[in-house]
Amino acid sequence: MSTSEDTESSKKPEESTTSIPAAEKDVVDKPPKAAEAAPAAAATPAPASWGDDDSDDDDKKTAAAAPVAATADAVEVTDVVELKKKKDDSEELTKRLQKLALERQKQTTGDRLKVIQNDQSSHLTGAKTFQELDLPKYLLDAIFAMGFDRPSAIQEEALPRILSDPPRNLIGQAQSGSGKTAAFTLGMLYRLDVDDPPTCQALCVTPTRELAIQIFQKAVKPMAANMVGLKIQLAIAGTTIERGTALNAHLVIGTPGKVVDWLKRKIINSKTIKVFVLDEADNMVGEDGHRANSLLIKKTMSRTCQCLLFSATFPTDVVKFADKMIHNADKILIESDESLVCSCFFICLESYNLVTISIVCTIN
């Protein structure tokens, strides 16, 4: 027994005296760092379950598609930004070209306009800005909203005379795009009282149905946008008003034949009209029916009615016609017979759908 006990006791001290180097001891005692433990954890496969293979494939596809979708979105946003910038640049360029065209028009036309005043004692001068005309706010705001910033060459001379008090008759020579439509439209609206029930106070006669609609849509409606309650009537082919029915409008725009018919049927009361406009007089002279009807319309107007006549050209027959139509008028003529070319249109001539046009317009 003693021998075996001695043997066991002799082995124990050998085990107890076995030492571990300090560096190795530190490694054993300290727990592994998270960074070092991560690969081991990643290397350990998770318990498999039914459907894991499919979900892994879907996850891989989604992960691969995400960068592509993000790139596509980024490209789309960039395209939208670039398109907006190009549009803004285009609009800015258009505005600059319009202003340049206006300045060029004034340079080529301003010195060529010849103003002949019926009253030689008058000291009326041209207006360089719309503010100088002392317009009511509702008209001035509408003018600026339409994109006008200052008068064109014909407007500088015509507007002070059209808006004068007492009113003056005017014969004006003006080419397309010169701003004459805006000038006589402003003159008509300036004289109107928006009464209820409405009385017809302004009449504009044009040679064609299409031009009447154009003036209505592109000039009168936008310029009268702030005149609440104003009613406008087109007197053109296809428009009918029953006999005995009162005209429910403050302003009428129409062609000579239809206007004469309404005057004869007493639909239009010429005695209440304050402003009579005859546009494109040279085209009226070219057609015998228009010429005769225009003279009939003018004869029905009262002596106090302001009369405005505009024509692109003034050959001898148009001059004689104008003198018959308009008495004691100031005249604004272009001294040269050359045509005026200008790309700046004050009244934008756009296409329109004749079917959908409202014959009667009320400004709400």
The per-residue pLDDT for range 53-91, each reduced to its tens digit, is 555 555 555 555 556 556 666 666 777 778 877 777 776
Q: Are residues 81 and 220 in the same domain?
A: no
Domain boundary among 109, 125, 142: 109
In a domain? residue 202: yes
In a domain? residue 102: yes
Say which residue, 103 or 218, is predicted with more confidence.
218
Q: Are residues 238 and 259 in the same domain?
A: yes
Domain coverage including residue 103: 66-109
Domain boundary among 89, 109, 129: 109
Provide Rg for the chain, Cα atoms. Answer: 43
Q: CA dihedral in degrees (194, 197, 201, 203; nearest 10)? A: 110
Structurally, the chain folds into a number of domains equal to 2
| Residues of the chain above pLDDT 90, percent | 51
CA distance 12 to 224: 116
Q: Are residues 104 and 124 in the same domain?
A: no
Q: Are residues 97 and 137 in the same domain?
A: no
In a domain? residue 58: no
Q: Are residues 100 and 186 in the same domain?
A: no
Work out whether the CA dihedral 11, 12, 18, 20 comes out positive or negative: positive
Assign residue 180 the CATH number of its domain: 3.40.50.300
Domain boundary among 90, 109, 128: 109
Contacts of 40 (CB under 8 A, 6+ apart): 32
Nearest C-alpha neighbor of 187 from the set 103, 281, 300, 309: 309
Cβ neighbours of 53 (radius 10 Å): 8
SS3 251: strand
Local confidence band at 354 (pLDDT 50, 70, 90 cut-offs): very low
Summarize pLDDT for 228-284 with one digit per residue, the tens.
Answer: 999 999 999 999 998 878 899 999 999 999 999 999 999 999 999 999 999 999 999
Say which residue, 145 or 43, is predicted with more confidence.
145
Q: Are residues 308 and 356 in the same domain?
A: yes
pLDDT at 198: 96
